[in-house]
Amino acid sequence: MAKIAVLGSGTGSNFQALMKEFGDEIVLVISDQPGAGILEKAKAFGIPTAVEEGGVDLSLRILNRLGGIDLICLAGFMRLVKDPLLSAFPNRILNIHPSLLPMYPGRAAWEQALADKVEVTGCTVHYVDAGIDTGEVILQEKVVILIDDTAETLHARIQIAEHRTYPEAVRLALKKMSGGA
């Protein structure tokens, strides 16, 4: 059984989606925000939590908490992951992003898609590398932009897709880690 750590900064909706599929395997939740909803959700499930606020050595401090962890899932973690964490977990850090990468990397991707009047956006699960949303894509799901969409309605529909896509991508990553195809 794999041991998974989830890093998040927000409410924890993707964390909840992961819990439904990997509850026994998620053994730690770390946030950079002391009041983040993800921390309360993790505590409700009895999962140990930690807070590591920003700073130049954030990746090192997080790394020091990850003994025995096999896979890291970023779930709305709004910090750049850097070395030494990247080097310690090559192809073992996943991120969910609210666009069809490589389009709209960075923050508020759904707002960028609306502003550009594209017809389709979606979500992407990818491996984390040193760039911003540039790692190898594991899985994507399309979301059609409706004529009356607002940033809020589009984001909500993208999150529904994320909650389906992220667990499936984690399954694929774990299979690859264990030597499966």
Q: What angle do CA 16, 11, 38 make, to 5 degrees?
A: 65
In angstroms, the CA 77 to CA 95 distance is: 9
Diameter of the chain by CA atoms?
48
CA dihedral 43, 163, 167, 18 (to 10 degrees): 0
Q: Which of helix, strand or coil describes residue 58?
A: helix
Other C-beta atoms lying within 10 Å of the C-beta of residue 37: 18
Tell me the two tokens of residue 160.
Answer: 């529904």
Does 97 participate in catalysis according to the annotation?
yes
Q: Name the catalytic one among 97, 126, 155, 163.
A: 97
Judge contact between 75 and 38, C-beta under 8 A. Answer: yes
Please give the order of strands across the beta sheet that includes 4-8. 49-51, 26-31, 4-8, 71-74, 93-97, 120-127, 137-144
Q: Catalytic amino acids? A: 97
